[in-house]
A and B are shown apart, each in its own frame.
Chain A
């Protein structure tokens, strides 16, 4: 199906482990984004990408790594997960940067 998908939808991991969250879109949108949403907070931008091989930091990039070798994929890696990274992670894509389309989210718990 066309659209934007995230995997896994739910993940439990231990402190110190590496975990990768996947994001895939079928629209060939240039822009892709990663946000996190914590209870009682709005969404905060972690990283974004304007095109393949172009990425830039958002508001809260520390502890995260991204790559974008293909237009349709934008994986987010937590190199050494911490409890403070327990959150709901949303991926989004946009063709123009004016209308972002969000995925269903990944709920990550770090124990």
Chain B
């Protein structure tokens, strides 16, 4: 089962940090965690991925629990352009086959 569990929706104030949680309790030891986001009327956009260690890039940080059963995507300073659906994804039989769930709809409050 390649399912992850995310809250359906979250709200955050502009210019504040956002922590988006994800549970993936059945993940295997070699599966990466991937995060994508989808802005309104656009295709999904890659955000970040990681295996065990915390990861940072220009868009976000990914904090992975030590037991790898959960992870948190961190947007350090939310802007209105960060309003999107965020997908936490684990692979389905290989890192190239991703199963997108329904994600978390993030609303940014000005």
Contacts and interface: CB of A to CB of B under 8 A. Distances in A.
A94 B99 contact: no
Interface stretch (B18-26, B60-68, B100-108): B100-108
B88 to A, nearest CB: 11
A94 B96 contact: yes
A42 B97 contact: no
A42 B103 contact: yes
B96 A50 contact: yes
B42 interface: yes
B49 A100 contact: no
Question: Which size bracket describes the interface of B in this complex?
Answer: 20 to 34
B97 A45 contact: yes
Interface residues of A, number: 25
Given A42-B87, A59-B92, A97-B95, A102 B100 contact: no
Contacts of A42: 87, 99-103
Interface string A28-70: 0001010100001111110010100000001100000000000
A69 B32 CA distance: 30
Contact of A105 (B34, B43, B100): B43
A74 interface: no
A59 B101 CA distance: 13
